[in-house]
Structure 1
Amino acid sequence: MHSDSIVSIRNLNYYVGAKPLRQQILFDINVEVKPREIVIMTGPSGSGKTTLLTLIGGLRSVQEGSLKFLNQELRGANEKQLVQVRRHIGYIFQAHNLLEFLTARQNVQMSLELWKDIPEQEAKAKAEEVLEAVQLGDKIDLHPQKLSGGQKQRVAIARALVSSPRLVLADEPTAALDGKTGRTVVELMQRLAKEQGSALLLVTHDNRILDIADRIINMEDGHLVSKMLTKK
């Protein structure tokens, strides 16, 4: 495992429930993600993909094995340390999770409020700039109910990328979108991630977008079963 990896996972196991009913969800996971790398994780529903994503994102606690983010070991990390980690990660979910009472700009700007040292004017300008980048410059003052599904998902991408995270985690980001819109959305994520030097880890069932990956990993029943390298 190289020290320049953004994510470095060794012998990771994960369980749910209490003994004797405890169930193992992830088995001996070993994987790493490098800067600017786009990794797609595929596999059937219930195979453990989202569980792995939430562990990497500091949204669950590591139980067994090693999970390092930017060389910091997350096993044994306390809540305060996990909050610090989350600052460097952008999250994009299938449901865009936008706040209906905020405009597109306010939804994006909210992401910067974790960073106490960014003045409001700067946060506002940054939010507008990234909405411009996702081709929503003319929609910044609209509330989510006035936006289409694809536009809402682009606001969610802008929100994930506005703080220039080191890692972007996306869980089924195209599931609710038609093929053309889904393609536009992932190409946008790909371009912005590469420009910012972020790594992108994407969980998807959408075979139409697999070609954007530098690498595809496959999860089955809690095991990473194959690592197929895609041709660039």
Structure 2
Amino acid sequence: MTLAISIHDLNHYFGQGQLQKQVLFDINLEINKGEIVIMTGPSGSGKTTLLTLAGGLRSAQSGSLQVLGQELCSATAQHLTEARRHHGYIFQAHNLHSSLTALQNVRMGLELHPKLSTTEMQTRSAEMLEQVGLGNRLNYYPDDLSGGQKQRVAIARALVSHPQLVLADEPTAALDSKSGRDVVNLMQTLAKEQGCTILLVTHDNRILDVADRIVNMEDGRLVNVGSTSRGDAGITSLTG
């Protein structure tokens, strides 16, 4: 099966000189295309750092990090920008621009695709918001939307470009149980329809069942990469 992410002997550091601190240690992980993988572990264990490296938000320093066939270790800023064209990123706090409408926020997910016309961008953004159940909120500003609706806009923005890879950092953290479940089910459905891979960081035990595989991180190390098929074994290894 083709790999979406292939990580080998990855190490990462913050700071320089005597202040340098290692935050990731010998990470080895392979994620198949189309797979939904949940990564969990204590706060400060390195989950978000690994997610940002995979998402091309910063350059990996040591080892190998191949995402969709591109090596991102020691990548230039231009190389990372090119890699991000194929990613969708969902942040914990949704990161919507308060001065833009829902439609305008979603359209930002297409700004790295200059071949699309303005009309095409508008149409695709509106269609994506319709798919996430916000077809009647196109011109609403974030301050006029509920927490669940804001996160749906963030999901629409991440998926509107039909990315090959979706990276989500605690997408249900600010939501109640029902809204969180709705958001994750929506991500799962739309991603499966588009055939993309999902790597999701969470502390939310209520959504573990959507994963094909669960990986655990502690103190900058992967301590369990789970099985490659959906089932109780992966969930038991996390919660037991």
* TMscore range, shorter length: over 0.9
- Secondary structure at the counterpart of residue 6 of structure 1: strand
How many angstroms apart in 1 are the aligned matches of 2:200 and 2:141?
Answer: 27
Corresponding residue for residue 51 of structure 1: 49
How many angstroms apart in 2 are the aligned matches of 1:193 and 1:168?
Answer: 8
Corresponding residue for residue 145 of structure 2: 147
| Among 179, 199, 202, the residue aligned to 2:200 | 202
**Alignment of structure 1 residues 182-221 onto 2, 5 Å:** 182-221=180-219
List gaps (5 residues or longer) in structure 2: 233-240
- Secondary structure at the counterpart of residue 139 of structure 1: coil
Please say which of residues 98-107 and 40-49 is displaced more in the overlay: 98-107
**Alignment of structure 1 residues 4-43 onto 2, 5 Å:** 4-43=2-41
Deviations along 1:92-129, one digit per CA (max 9) or x if unpaired, are 01111111111101110111111110001111110011
How many angstroms apart in 1 are the aligned matches of 2:72 and 2:101?
Answer: 35
| CA drift at 1:24 | 0.9
Deviations along 1:22-62, one digit per CA (max 9) or x if unpaired, are 21100000001111110000000000000000110111111
How many angstroms apart in 2 are the aligned matches of 1:171 and 1:226?
Answer: 19
Does the CA contact (< 8 Å) of 2:29 and 2:225 recur in 1? Answer: no
Corresponding residue for residue 123 of structure 2: 125
Aligned partner letter, 1:231: G
| CA drift at 1:165 | 0.6
| CA drift at 1:11 | 0.3
How many angstroms apart in 2 are the aligned matches of 1:79 and 1:57?
Answer: 13
Corresponding residue for residue 83 of structure 1: 81
Corresponding residue for residue 94 of structure 1: 92
How many angstroms apart in 1 are the aligned matches of 2:221 and 2:177?
Answer: 29
| Among 162, 165, 189, the residue aligned to 1:164 | 162
Corresponding residue for residue 175 of structure 1: 173
Query: Identical aligned pairs, as a percentage?
Result: 63
How many angstroms apart in 1 are the aligned matches of 2:67 and 2:226?
Answer: 23
Corresponding residue for residue 136 of structure 1: 134
Does the CA contact (< 8 Å) of 2:92 and 2:172 recur in 1? Answer: yes
- Secondary structure at the counterpart of residue 191 of structure 1: helix
- Secondary structure at the counterpart of residue 58 of structure 2: coil
Matched, 1:231 2:235: no
Matched, 1:65 2:88: no
Aligned partner letter, 2:131: A
The aligned length equals 230
How many angstroms apart in 2 are the aligned matches of 1:184 and 1:95?
Answer: 17
Aligned partner letter, 1:171: D
How many angstroms apart in 2 are the aligned matches of 1:60 and 1:163?
Answer: 21
- Secondary structure at the counterpart of residue 138 of structure 1: coil
| CA drift at 1:194 | 0.7
Aligned partner letter, 1:121: T
Q: For the aligned residues, what is the CA RMSD?
A: 1.1
- Secondary structure at the counterpart of residue 117 of structure 1: coil
Corresponding residue for residue 236 of structure 2: none
Aligned partner letter, 1:83: T
